[in-house]
Amino acid sequence: MTRDRHPLVVFTARRLGRLTVALLVVVIASFVLIHLVPGDPVRAALGAQAPPEVIAARTAELGLDRPLPQQFFDYVGGLMRGDLGTSLVSREEVRTIMSTRLPNTLALAGLAFALVVLIAIPAGLGMAVYTRDDRHPGVESGFTGLSATLGLIPNFVLATLLVAVFAVALRAVPVAGMAEPASYVLPVLSLALGPAALLARIVRVEGRKVLGEDYIRTARAKRLPARLIYLRHALPGMLTATLTVGGMLLPGMVAGTVLVENVFAWPGLGSQITGAVLVKDYPVAQAVVLLLGVLVLVTNVLVDLALAVLDPRSTIRNG
């Protein structure tokens, strides 16, 4: 038993090691990129009419008059203590701001990813069954064209179209905000439709491969019910590719969250980072970049570990 577990333990340790290095890169990037934004953050926070002595005092108080390497080590030291700093504009602790905004982003992204899975797997598997053995080529071409079109439309463009149709013209759902459950509909659809279309194409391709395998033919020869053939035998063989592609789509969904939140005035991390960059609020912007990066990295590691459990031989050998 110990020998059987050993490759998985090594694989997990290797992934955690890579995660540590990647987190260090994200920390450095979150610091450097924000400091590349031109302008004086203290003057932006206090206003153009603030006296020079007030600006100088506030700059020294925040440590922004120190050399950049010293500011970076102060930043890392704060992170190790769990201190994300204080907003330059509102004087509120960044940790408090993040604790308010992060759940809203997680709810939006989580519902969107769940919808991606709920749409892509049944649609992809259904098309694989319907078009297997080169049946119904017209339907296959239509599905391929529609999924490709949806997958290529940027999130913010799709969000604008959905607002114009369902919120403005039909007045079926709210335009912006998250005051009621119906407020989730358009943001979730804006995030989910494109990735769902791309994932459905992958599921269809993998499904057609699996349906051509010998064990599926054997199951059909035994006259098993279609429900058992497709759900018990075919679906597990498609999960590896589905999880792999789903993990690759997640970074794009996180980036899309930033744009979609701004379209719908969603009180999450995406709208927060836009406002923070505009007013050069370094601590808030750094914290949002860091949190979004951590979310992507940790999710990718969890996907890799799930693949290692589902398909240990090929995943561990290739990883």
* Average pLDDT taken over every residue of the chain: 84
Q: Is the pLDDT of residue 7 over 90?
A: no
- Interval 153-202: pLDDT, tens: 888 899 999 999 998 988 888 888 888 889 999 999 999 999 999 899 98
> Do 317 and 24 contact (CB within 8 A), yes or no?
no
- Of 54-68, 240-254, 277-291, the one with minimum mean pLDDT is 240-254
Check residue 2 and give its pLDDT.
Answer: 44
Q: Model confidence at 5, in pLDDT bands (50, 70, 90)?
A: low
What are φ and ψ of residue 183, in 5° steps? -65, -20
Mapped onto helix, strand or coil, the DSSP state of residue 80 is helix
Task: Supply the Cα-derived Rg of the chain in whole angstroms.
Answer: 24
Q: Is the pLDDT of residue 3 over 60?
A: no
The four Cα atoms 296, 297, 299, 302 give a dihedral, to 10 degrees, of: 170
Are the beta carbons of 159 and 186 closer than 8 angstroms? yes
Task: Give the type of residue at 137.
Answer: P
d(CA 39, CA 48): 12
- Residue 18: exposed, middle, or buried by beta-carbon count in 10 A (0-12, 13-18, 19+)? middle
Of 251 and 20, the one with more pLDDT: 20
pLDDT tens, 14-34?
888 999 999 999 899 888 877
Report pTM. 0.80
Domains detected in the chain: 94-318 (1.10.3720.10)
What whole-number percentage of the chain has pLDDT above 90?
16
The 3-state DSSP class for residue 47 equals coil
Instruction: Report d(CA 152, CA 291) in Å as an integer.
Output: 27
Rounded distance between C-alpha atoms, residue 172 and residue 174, angstroms: 7
pLDDT at residue number 193: 92
pLDDT band with cut points at 50, 70 and 90 for residue 275? confident
Question: Is 112 exposed, middle or buried (CB count within 10 Å of its CB: 0-12, 13-18, 19+)?
Answer: buried
Instruction: Answer yes or no: are the C-beta atoms of 277 and 207 closer than 8 Å.
Output: no
Is the pLDDT at 237 greater than 50? The verdict is yes
Give DSSP secondary structure letters for 172-190: -S-SSS-SSGGGGHHHHHH
> In the prediction, which pLDDT does 191 show?
93
Residues 51-102 have pLDDT tens digits of: 888 888 888 887 888 888 898 898 889 888 888 888 888 888 999 999 999 8
The listed range with the strongest mean pLDDT (148-152, 235-239, 245-249, 314-318) is 148-152
**pLDDT given at position 312:** 67
Q: What per-residue confidence (pLDDT) applies to 208?
A: 85
Under the banding of pLDDT at 50, 70 and 90, the label for residue 1 is very low
Q: Calculate mean pLDDT across residues 202-214.
A: 83
